[in-house]
Amino acid sequence: MIEAVELVKSFGDFTAVHGISLHVSEGQILALLGHNGAGKTTTTRMLAAILAPTSGYARIGGYNSVTQALEVRRIIGHLTELPGLYNRMRVIEYLDFFGELHAVPPKLRRERIEEMLQRFDLWETRKLRIGEYSKGMRQKAALIRALIHDPQVLFLDEPTSAMDPHSAKMVRDAIFELKQAHRSIILCTHNLAEAEILADKIAIIRKGQIVIEGTSEELKRKLLGVPHYQVAFNQPLTLGLPTGLADLVEIVEQSERGFIFRTEEATRNNPQVLALLAKAGLKVITLSEVSRSLESVYLKIAGQPQDNSLSRDEVEQSMKKKEDFTKNLKGATADQAEELEPTHPEKGAVK
């Protein structure tokens, strides 16, 4: 459903993305992790047919992202990190406007808007203007906008940003349901716990390149080695560990109340470890795998941020926004200047 082959994006002598290839099937979630400026935004913008790659190609739902850009845009939903929301519009007007842009029939638009506003706890505030919403409410409104036309493919950049725990779980549940409905999703996030919960595959980007990709468990094994297991006793160990234990597993750490070991064949060796301890008269309370976080994997592979600069396309976006703001500011009164926001067509808004 999502296919990228050797994508490269250069801005003059600066290359933001260096030969990225990836594949996301139907009903699969890929999490893209990386520092700010690593190339995540540039990559998703190429996949979403917003930027044309310098070289390489992408196909979304079988459509080429350059030669069939309009077809790509019809089947995707794109939640950007900084979604442009029309603050003067009521949320119900805003969603109706974007539903009409996506050619969703009026009756279906009304049904979907009500359904999703109810789903994300925004129905009671449907008559408020978006400028009156909190950050978390605005984020949910932007997510609904990305879903209004029931897209086959979703690009979600920090979907739970600024949300309270209840709202964040609501969004995660919705993403999981989309996956079950065979949607293909690319998730860009700094929330590593969220990535571990939701993603089928994780790709870590550094300096515009995917440096490693796989499931959470595959990444942990590749970068952190074989799993560690912890044994806890019901009383202090006085005579030491039984002879022969070191022949079965590698002891990593020992204390008077237990020890930690590692083994590449846990299914075969762990029962033998328990049998040996029981034969020695040691009563085991627990034998459990030591938890290893995705954060440990990420920090090991991504290291420290390469610098604090933005990728070139993000710089260009910032400059463009500044130019637009300056143009709008000229000739505006002081009161109008305080309310400046992205301009939008009034035609089509529901009164």
What is 2-220+305-338's CATH topology? Rossmann fold (3.40.50)
Nearest to 96 by CA among 82, 75, 112, 84: 112
**Structure tokens, 99:** 């539903």
Comparing CA positions, the residue from 272, 282, 191 lying closest to residue 232 is: 282
Judge whether 35 and 206 are in contact, CB under 8 Å. yes
Is pTM beyond 0.75? Reply is yes
> What pLDDT was estimated at residue 29?
98
Structure tokens at 344: 């939008």
Residue 347: is it exposed, middle or buried by C-beta count within 10 angstroms (0-12/13-18/19+)?
Answer: exposed
Q: In whole angstroms, how far apart are CA 282 and each of 156, 236, 271, 274?
A: 52, 10, 14, 9
Rg (CA), the chain: 26
Report the DSSP pairing between strands 76-79 and 153-157: parallel
CA distances from 290 to 219, 249, 262 (A): 16, 15, 10
pLDDT string in tens for the chain (351-residue length):
999 999 999 999 999 999 999 999 999 999 999 998 899 999 999 999 999 999 999 999 999 999 999 999 999 999 998 888 999 999 999 999 999 999 999 999 999 999 999 999 999 999 999 999 999 999 999 999 999 999 999 999 999 988 999 999 999 999 999 999 999 999 999 999 999 999 999 999 999 999 999 999 899 888 888 899 999 999 998 888 998 999 999 999 999 899 999 999 999 999 999 999 999 999 999 999 998 888 888 888 876 555 444 444 444 454 444 444 444 444 444 444 444 444 444 434 443
- What integer pLDDT is reported at residue 349 of this predicted model? 40
Give the per-residue SS3 of the chain. Answer: CEEEEEEEEEECCEEEEEEEEEEECCCCEEEEECCCCCCHHHHHHHHCCCCCCCEEEEEECCEECCCCHHHHHHHEEEECCCCCCCCCCEHHHHHHHHHHHCCCCHHHHHHHHHHHHHHCCCHHHCCCEHHHCCHHHHHHHHHHHHHCCCCCEEEEECCCCCCCHHHHHHHHHHHHHHHHCCCEEEEECCCHHHHHHHCCEEEEEECCEEEEEECHHHHHHHHHCCCEEEEEECCCCCCCCCCCHHHHCEEEEEECCEEEEECCCHHHHHHHHHHHHHHCCCCEEEEEECCCCHHHHHHHHHCCCCCCCCCHHHHHHHHHHHHHHHHHHCCCCHHHHHCCCCCCCCCCCCC
Q: Where are the domains of the chain?
A: 2-220+305-338, 228-291
Considering only CA atoms, which of 207, 208, 206, 165 is closest in space to residue 297? Answer: 206
Q: Please tell me the predicted confidence (pLDDT) of residue 200.
A: 97
Question: From its phi and psi, is residue 334 left (phi > 0), alpha (psi between -120 and 50) or beta?
Answer: alpha
pLDDT of residue 335: 43
